[in-house]
Chain A
Amino acid sequence: MSFVEIRGASKAYAGQLAIDKVDFDVDLGEVHSLVGENGAGKSTLCKALAGAVVLSGGTITIDGKLMKFETPKDALDAGVVMVYQETSLVPTMTVAQNIQLGKEKALNRLRGLYIWGQQLLSSLNFHVDPTALVSSLGAAQKQMVEIARAVFHEAKVIIFDEPTATLTPEEKQHFFDLVANLKARGTAIIFISHALEEALETSDRITVLRDGKNVITAPAKEFTRAKLVQSMVGRAVTAVERKPRKPVGEKRKVLVVENLSQGTMVKNMSFSVYAGEVTGMSGLVGSGRTETAKVIAGATKRNLMHGGMVYLDGRAVRYRVPRQAVDDGIVYVTEDRKLNGFYETMSVGENIYLSWLASKDGRGLFVSKGQQRKIADKWKDRLSIRSVSKDPRINELSGGNQQKVVIAKSLVQKPKVVIFDEPTRGVDVGSIQEIHEFIRSLAEEDIAVIVISSYLPEVLAISDRILVTRAGRVVEEFTLENATEEKIMYAAVH
């Protein structure tokens, strides 16, 4: 008899089963990972356990008692806390206030609260100032506050939804120490994760969901990465095929960045990018990669006096607005597709077509449905964007397919320089593979490609050359032959 037992859990959204008769259990003092592609039902299952979603069928038993969760508060009272991907903290309140949120005493003294908060945080070995505003904290520290809150609520079961997605490697290490600490206290921990290596390393058991069904539950040591991936996608996934690289002499310099400085994040960034090559940019979050990309693509204006220089095909460029960069053939594929990647009210076809209209080729007065269909079909086909209906709203697609649309939106503008910022964040394993192959195919078309990625296996899999950034500068450059995860990490941190 496990502490938490879920039997035959089902949940339908608009007639579609998100999860279908799933059995799942977790014990006190156990770390149980849930893996699966986007849309496999991981979040739905956990939300049901956390009371955020009401099941259409099945039972949840905690400590031998049958539970009926209607609201998150019911689950909280039963000792289940879910730490969501987008943190649920109130940014304008202090750390201590956030920890107590929802369970404050009627009369509260700030000084007492901060002393209490300091005690709680240091008992957990968290180095966070209880008087600091949450908005001033980094991702890892927010995670700590979330955990402290879970501890304060006397959680017996803690669910983490992709906790490490936004963390830097050191922060990740720190986070796993915390999890070990919680485990030793006898807390049951459920992990939703896309990072398979982490799941293999930290969990006691792993459950794989596919299409809403439980495919396999087994001790972590019985899995390998390959076996996990195979259970997730239902087929074996092979590495990206690569054609031999061109000799150095034939390479054509397309983009040169010299001593670029912007705000406090970018300081004297210098590097070059060549046509027909994928240049990987690796580094910690906050090392100035995205900011550099935004200056190159015109999303932020380069400082005139002390901003350094950017040359495109040997010509100095300084863009006021992205439109000028798009006209010159530089596009930026955003790291946050929901925030600024696509138009959520529109269909896939309209999303792609509108980008084409905004490019040099498409400019005119009127729109044409036939042209839209032609362009959209071509790109849907090229990126194998899959959907049930013919031209669905982009909201109805899975994360991986949405990302492909965002990529199509940029590529339809016929760029010669493409900057991908975290091209596979929140994307399922199958689509990651397809996106990687697509990025490689761009390089073969003689496009200069920059890939910003915090995920080292990704950088190593698709780059021809790897730049490592630290504190706003490129500190190291590796050719593919002599790059390893260890070397890149060392350069990024030290």
Chain B
Amino acid sequence: MTQEVIVLGMTVVLFIVLSIALRGFASTGNLLSLVRSVSVLGVLAVGMAVVVIGRGLDLSQVAIVAVLPAWVLQRLGQGVPTSTAVLSAVGIALAVGLANGLLVAFVELPALFSTLASGMLVYGLGRSLLLERSFVYVNPGHEGFLAIGQANFLGVPIPVWIFIGVAVAAHLFLSRTQRGRFLYAMGDNYEAARLSGIAVRPLTVMTYVLSSLVAILAGLVLAAEVASVNAQIFTSTMIFDVILVVVLGGVSLLGGRGSITSVVVGTLLIGVLLNGMVIMNFDNNVQNIVKSIVLLGAIIVDNRLHPRDEETARQGDI
């Protein structure tokens, strides 16, 4: 039994319990809003998972989510065409991802520190050079832009479609393409991958670029959903939620383990949990406590089921 299956089991049990206990929980409307509420988180987590599977970490995601969409909205307000505003933000995100990748792969800095620093740099530069104020609204007349956060397609909100699209694309990339398989190899054993002729450094750069691109996408969807951006979310616990979802499903921070399915399952568990707690009117602190207990529980169960020492002790000599 894998952690993925355990988390899926927990989700199902929780779902059944909440459906019985809470009136209105199992209605179609609530379920759609449940998935919709975690779509942005899920998209970010898919990007993070790609980095983590390659034994990296990207803490700068949230800086992109906070600063670049705010800049896009500000420029929309100044009358810049939507495509220009969006594409220039995507360009900057690309540059940030490239810089992260180069720092980790070629300068050989630890991912934890380099992306922490680059995230703070992006936020600081963005706030001082690009943004006039930290809270930016969408001005009237940009319904096209708002649609990516608010419209429905076939009765399902666009953000949910975007989550599905990103997840499916990432899944196909990881499981069907050579680069995807190489990423697992690199996360499992970097030096073994390098020695066998895998181009590990370009591969590393690619993961950070993907993560940044996914982050600007998630940020724009979020901005359209609420028709505004508060750049202060950089200082929220958002990045920890993303890591929580990634780790919860069984993508190990050691690299090489886990899959996009596990990220989706982790996202759903958090969605069910948050939705239930919102309906039950739990306050933010209690929500955080519950989230942390769930994370600890999932990791402990995984450890019990896969005692790594026994496994390593068995190889070679018995």
Contacts and interface: CB of A to CB of B under 8 A. Distances in A.
Interface of A: 13, 18-19, 38-44, 161, 212, 297, 299, 321-323, 325-327, 332, 334, 338-346, 350, 354-355, 357-359, 362-367, 395-399, 402, 409-410, 413, 426
Contacts of A398: 316
Contacts of A366: 176-178
A38 B184 CA distance: 29
B170 to A, nearest CB: 15
9 contacts: A322-B196, A338-B316, A342-B192, A345-B188, A346-B188, A355-B197, A358-B196, A364-B178, A395-B314
Interface in B184-243: 184-185, 188-189, 191-199, 201
Contact of B318 (A40, A342, A359): A40
A326 B201 CA distance: 16
B197 A359 contact: yes
A19 B191 CA distance: 35
Contacts of B191: 339-340
B11 to A, nearest CB: 24
Contact of A297 (B177, B181, B195): B195
A19 B201 CA distance: 45
A40 B318 CA distance: 7
Given A345-B257, A346-B188, A399-B316, A354 B197 contact: no
Contact of A323 (B176, B181, B199, B257): B199
A343 B185 contact: yes
Nearest to B194: A322
Interface of B: 176-178, 180-182, 184-185, 188-189, 191-199, 201, 256-257, 310-312, 314-318
A344 B188 contact: yes
The 3 tightest CB contacts between A and B, nearest first, are: A326-B197, A340-B191, A343-B188
Contacts of A334: 192, 195
B102 to A, nearest CB: 16
A343 B318 contact: no
Contact of B185 (A339, A354, A410): A354
B185 A346 contact: yes
B108 to A, nearest CB: 13
Contacts of A357: 178, 181-182
B188 A365 contact: no
B184 A346 contact: yes
Given A322-B195, A323-B197, A44 B318 contact: yes
Contact of A367 (B178, B201, B257): B178
A343 B315 CA distance: 13
Contact of B194 (A321, A341, A345): A321
